[in-house]
Amino acid sequence: MAWPAEVLKLIPLFLAAVVAGWGDPALAIGPTVVAPQYHRAGDLITASEFVPLSRASQQMARGQYGKALIPLIETVERNPVSVLGLYHLGNTYFELARQTDLPEQQAVYLDQAQQAFERVANLNNELTLVYFRLGKIALLKNDPQAAKRYYEQGVLVDPKNAALIFNLARVHDQLGERTEAIRYYQQTLSVDPAFVFAYNNMGLLYEDQRDYQKAEAAYQQALKRDSNYNLARLNLGNLYAVMGHYQRSEKFLNDAQRLEPGNEWVYYYLGNLRLRQGAYQDAVTAYSRALEINPKHATTYYLLAVSLTRLKRMDEALQASLNYVQLEPNGEYAKELKSLILSVKLSQGHGERFQLKPMNTGP
C-alpha cells in the first residue's frame, strides 16, 4: 500500500525506535523517541509501538484490514497520541466500510474511522490527508454540510492545496451553491492551472445557468490543457447539440467515441443529438447501445421510450417505460410513463395508440 506523504514524515521516528530497541532490549518497552523537527503532541512514538505497527502495515499491504485492526488497536492503547497508529486505524476502518455490503456495519466502520481521524486532527492539525478522509466519510454518510466544514478546515491549514480546494468546490456544487462553487473552482485553477477537472465542472455550472459561451470556453480550456480528457470532450459535444450546432456536436461526440468506445455516455449523448435532429431510429440505436453498457440508467430508458413512440413502435416503448418505472418508481418521468403504459395496454384491445407529448430532451 502506498504511504501518504504526510505520514512518510514520521518514518524517521520508526527508525529511531528500532535503533533504540537494538541498543538495549529494555528500551523496546520504555522510552519515547521524539524527532525535534516534529516535536508536537501526536508525534510521540514509543519504541514498543514498532512491532504492532509493523505487523499491521504488512497486513494492510496485503489488504487484510480486518486482521490489521488488532495490532492497530493495541498501538493506540499503548500510546493514545500516536498519530501514525490513529491514522492507520482510521484508514483501516475506512477501507472496511468500503468493502462491506451491510449498511449497518458500514455505518459502524465509518463512525470508528471518523473518530480516529478526528483524534489525529486534534493532535496534529497540519496533516491535510486527514481532512480528505473526514470529508469523504461525511459524504458517504450523506452529510455534505459536515464535508464542507472538514474541507474548509483543510484549506485553512493548506490554502495552496488544489485538491482540497477542488473538493470544497464540489461540495458547494452538490449543495446547489453555484456562486461559491465557481469561486472555489476558480481558486483551484489559480493554484494549479492544469487542474482540468475544475474547468469541466465550471463548464457544467455555466451550462446550467445557460451561459453557453462561458461553458464552451471552460470545456475548451480543459481540452487545451489535456487533449485526452474525454469527459470535457463529451460535455462540449453535448453543449453544441443544446446550442443547435449539430455538426460540431457530432464531430466531438464521434471523437469521444473513438477514444472510449465502451463509454455509455458517448451513446447517451449521441442519442440526444439524434433525437434533437429527428433521427429517431439512430437515437434508438444509440440509446440501446448505452443500455447494453449500463442497463441501470433510468433516464436512458425514458429517452428510448420517447424515440420509440415517435417511431410508433409502441410495444417496445411500453417495455422501455416499464424498465424505467421499475428502476425509478417515483422518478422525474415516472408519472408520464405510467400514463403511457396504461394507454398502450388499454389500446391493445381498441386499435388505438398513445402519443407522447413533446419532451425536453436536454441533458
Higher pLDDT, 26 or 63: 63
Non-local (6+) Cβ contacts of 258 within 8 A are none
Residue 245: helix, strand or coil by DSSP?
Answer: coil
Residue 39 has pLDDT above 50, yes or no: no
How far is residue 59's CA from residue 5's CA, in Å, rounded to a whole number? 20
Note the pLDDT tens digit of each residue in 73-95. Answer: 988 888 898 888 899 999 999 99
Angle at 96 between CA 51 and CA 140, to 5 degrees: 130
pLDDT the model gives residue 268:
97
pTM (2 d.p.): 0.76
Residue 159 has pLDDT above 90, yes or no: yes
Residue 192 has pLDDT above 70, yes or no: yes
Note the pLDDT tens digit of each residue in 271-316. Answer: 999 999 999 999 999 999 999 999 999 999 999 999 999 999 999 9
How far is residue 304's CA from residue 341's CA, in Å, rounded to a whole number? 14
DSSP type of residue 26: G
In the 3-class helix/strand/coil scheme, how is 172-229 assigned residue by residue?
Answer: HHHCCCHHHHHHHHHHHHHHCCCCHHHHHHHHHHHHHCCCHHHHHHHHHHHHHHCCCC
Most confident by average pLDDT, 10-19, 62-71, 329-338: 329-338
Domain extent listing, the chain: 1-124
DSSP type of residue 79: -
pLDDT the model gives residue 31:
29
Residue whose cell numbers read 498519530: 83
Express as a percent the part of the chain with pLDDT over 70.
Answer: 81
Note the pLDDT tens digit of each residue in 205-232. Answer: 999 999 999 999 999 999 999 999 999 9
Residue 150: helix, strand or coil by DSSP?
Answer: helix
pLDDT the model gives residue 225:
96
Length of the chain in terms of residues written: 363
Question: Given CA atoms 209, 210, 213, 215 in this order, what sign does their dihedral have?
Answer: positive
Q: Give the cell for residue 23.
A: 541498543
Give the largest CA-CA distance in the chain: 95
Beta bridge partners of 33: 45
Q: Give the cell for residue 279.
A: 433521427
The confidence band for 354, taking pLDDT boundaries of 50, 70 and 90, is very low
Non-local (6+) Cβ contacts of 184 within 8 A are 165, 166, 168, 169, 172
